[in-house]
């Protein structure tokens, strides 16, 4: 199938046909977590969004290099680039080494990713592993005149940059208003202008994490990390950069300025921003005290939770909204998602138990057309800026069809075998590879059992085709002895297990 994938680019604010720089390769970067505490469900929504983008791009044939970093230094408590290093602060609080904090919360993040069926990225670079690259990038920006040094810290000179380039386009911020609205912050007196941001920050010797640089000991600026790592692994310009909506400013705005300041090139062809998971309309965030941790969800141990929720229905819940819409986290919405998820999985199970057999009656062209249309539509929805919400609505329609075949309300042989196979491949691809919501079903013995039964029933079909009914009955009877009941319906063979 030819795909006309369109992606909404936050920078130009338009949905454009996706044309990678070097097809079939795609370079994609998404900002990873700052590993100073446990990821909450809000963070997870953003990571899930880019997991589906990654999966879908691969599914339609691209060879994707997906880079998602780990921020293990330099992210200060204030996003404007002031305050103290979050990892350093947490290390003091927990009386651990910063690198112990990093290990602990990186492991936690990976566990959560695994539980929620997120694929590992192709490369997961850490900021502390790329100090050299960051220093090199700072040198370039300095050489081009877009940064200045004060007391061992290097600041990006936004005003100077604006003499030649645009600043604020991505976030739609006006620099004059920003300057007027900015508060006096710690360290700000060092800057020429309050909109300037640190790309290297000098730290005192009592700071545990610090690195040597041409400007003395310090830590890299958070915004610079992503620019340096993105450039290193994907090139000066690459296809897709993602992150949560809250990272548009200042983080991504600064990334653009840094790349343009260093290499005079727009770093990203398609900027993608995932909208926020909210609680009663407020952004879910640790600092607001309205965040949920995955563990709290599985145990139901949280004041706002009525019950426990399993990971796959929660993943499904997130994908039921388009990534550019906000999504409100409520018990009723989660419970509705649980029901929807169960419905879809029932259809998934039924589909994989259906065995197509040709009937004497002719196929029904209208029925064939309907099924083929749904199989096309579900991809069109994804091609429209990864609209998982609408793709899922189509999957529900497909689910209805599957159920009617299963229950015999419509005879399966009213569609031809090729159309049945198309339905099966498409539906399975969405459940397993694209939305990836089948984890519970595919782990453990259950998946194997299904595969095994498929083999046995195929063999039985061959035996029957040879009119060896004695052998066919023997297979059926032996299966029954071990509690597996095989039924020969007019639409094929189904089986149930006690
Ligand atoms: P952080 O570790 O704070 O840098 O956040 C990791 C990712 O989670 C970033 O891409 C954020 O934009 C994203 N994020 C944070 N809070 C939320 C939220 N409530 N909903 C969706 N994404 C979020
Ligand atoms: Zn980033």
Ligand 1 atom, smallest distance to 35 CA: 2
The percent helix, strand, coil of the chain (3-state, each to 5) is 50, 15, 35
Cα–Cα distance measured from residue 136 to residue 253, given in angstroms and rounded to the nearest whole number: 20
pLDDT tens for residues 436-462? 999 753 333 455 677 788 888 888 888
**What pairs with residue 147 in β-bridges?**
156
| Domain presence at residue 486 | yes
Residue 74 CB less than 6 A away from ligand 1: no
| Domain presence at residue 180 | yes
| Domain presence at residue 281 | no
| Residues 218, 148 share a domain | yes
Nearest one of 75, 79, 80 to 90, comparing CA atoms: 75
pLDDT tens for residues 200-236? 999 988 888 999 999 999 999 999 999 999 999 999 9
**Spatial contact of 424 and 351, defined as CB atoms under 8 Å apart:** yes
pLDDT of residue 463: 84
**Spatial contact of 244 and 10, defined as CB atoms under 8 Å apart:** no
Nearest ligand (C-alpha, residue 246): 1
Query: Measured in angstroms, how far is the CA atom of residue 316 from the centroid of ligand 2?
Result: 26
pLDDT of residue 399: 98
Q: Identify which of 41, 246, 250, 321 to mutate to test ligand 1's pocket (most ligand atoms within 8 A of the CB).
A: 246
Cα–Cα distance measured from residue 452 to residue 379, given in angstroms and rounded to the nearest whole number: 30
pLDDT tens for residues 348-360? 999 999 999 888 8
| Residues 469, 377 share a domain | no
Query: Mean of the pLDDT values across residues 399-406?
Result: 97
pLDDT tens for residues 55-82? 999 999 999 999 999 999 888 887 666 6
Helix (H, G, I), strand (E, B) or coil at 435: coil
**In the structure encoding, which two tokens stand for residue 61, read together?**
């044939």
| Residues 385, 236 share a domain | no
| 310 alpha carbon, distance to own chain's centre | 18
Residues with a beta carbon under 5 angstroms from ion ligand 2: 31, 226
The count of structural domains within the chain is 3
Residue 127 CB less than 6 A away from ligand 1: no
CATH number of the domain that residue 59 is part of: 3.40.50.620
| Residues 223, 78 share a domain | yes
**In the structure encoding, which two tokens stand for residue 405, read together?**
């075949």
pLDDT tens for residues 264-304? 999 999 999 999 999 989 999 988 889 999 989 988 889 88
| Residues 352, 245 share a domain | no
Cα–Cα distance measured from residue 340 to residue 146, given in angstroms and rounded to the nearest whole number: 53
Query: Atom 18, ligand 1: which residue's CA is nearest?
Result: 42
| Domain presence at residue 31 | yes
Ligand 1 atom, smallest distance to 43 CA: 8
Nearest ligand (C-alpha, residue 31): 2
**In the structure encoding, which two tokens stand for residue 277, read together?**
């998971």
- 179: domain range? 6-274
Residue 274's H or E segment, with its range, is strand 268-274
Last residue of a domain, one of 274, 291, 318: 274
Nearest one of 285, 289, 329, 282 to 305, comparing CA atoms: 329
């Amino acid at each position: 199938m030819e795909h006309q994938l369109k992606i909404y680019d936050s920078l130009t604010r338009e949905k454009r046909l996706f044309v990678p720089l070097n097809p079939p390769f795609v370079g994609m970067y998404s900002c990873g977590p700052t590993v100073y505490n446990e990821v909450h469900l809000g963070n997870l929504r953003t990571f899930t969004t880019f997991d589906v983008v990654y999966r879908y791009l691969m599914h339609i044939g691209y060879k994707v290099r997906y880079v998602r970093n780990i921020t293990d230094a330099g992210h200060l408590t204030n996003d404007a680039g002031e305050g103290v290093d979050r990892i350093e602060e947490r290390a003091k609080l927990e009386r651990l080494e910063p690198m112990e904090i990093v290990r602990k919360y990186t492991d936690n993040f990976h566990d959560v990713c695994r539980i929620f069926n997120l694929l590992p990225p192709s490369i997961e670079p850490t900021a502390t592993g790329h100090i050299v690259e960051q220093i090199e990038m700072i040198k370039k920006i300095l050489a081009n005149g877009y940064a200045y040094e004060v007391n061992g810290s290097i600041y990006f000179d936004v005003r100077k940059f604006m003499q030649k380039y645009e600043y604020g386009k991505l976030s739609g911020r006006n620099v004059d208003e920003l300057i007027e609205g900015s508060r006096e912050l710690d360290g700000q007196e060092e800057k020429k202008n309050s909109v300037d941001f640190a790309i290297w920050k000098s730290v005192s010797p009592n700071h545990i994490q610090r690195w040597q640089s041409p400007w003395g000991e310090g830590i890299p600026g958070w915004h610079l990390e992503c620019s340096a790592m993105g450039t290193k692994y994907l090139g000066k310009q690459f296809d897709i950069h993602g992150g949560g909506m809250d990272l548009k400013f200042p983080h991504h705005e600064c990334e653009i300025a840094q790349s343009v300041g260093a290499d005079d090139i727009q770093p990203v062809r398609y900027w993608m921003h995932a909208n926020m998971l909210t609680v009663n309309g407020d952004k879910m965030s640790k600092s607001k005290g309205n965040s949920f941790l995955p563990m709290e969800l599985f145990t139901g141990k949280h004041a706002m939770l009525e019950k426990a929720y399993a990971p796959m229905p929660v993943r499904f819940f997130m994908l039921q909204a388009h990534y550019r819409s906000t999504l409100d986290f409520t018990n009723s919405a989660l419970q509705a998602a649980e029901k929807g998820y169960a419905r879809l999985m029932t259809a998934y199970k039924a589909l994989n138990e259906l065995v197509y057999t040709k009937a004497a009656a002719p196929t029904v062209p209208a029925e064939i057309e309907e099924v083929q249309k749904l199989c096309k539509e579900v991809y069109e929805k994804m091609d429209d800026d990864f609209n998982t919400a609408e793709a899922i609505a189509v999957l529900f329609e497909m689910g209805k069809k599957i159920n009617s075949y299963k229950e015999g309300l419509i005879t399966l042989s009213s569609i031809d075998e090729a159309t049945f196979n198309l339905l099966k491949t498409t539906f399975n691809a969405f459940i397993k590879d694209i939305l990836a919501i089948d984890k519970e079903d595919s782990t453990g013995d259950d998946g194997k059992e299904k595969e095994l039964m498929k083999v046995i029933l195929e063999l039985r079909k061959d035996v029957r085709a040879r009119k060896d009914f004695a052998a066919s009955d023997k297979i059926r009877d032996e299966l029954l002895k071990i509690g597996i009941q095989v039924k020969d319906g007019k639409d094929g063979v189904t089986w149930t297990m006690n």
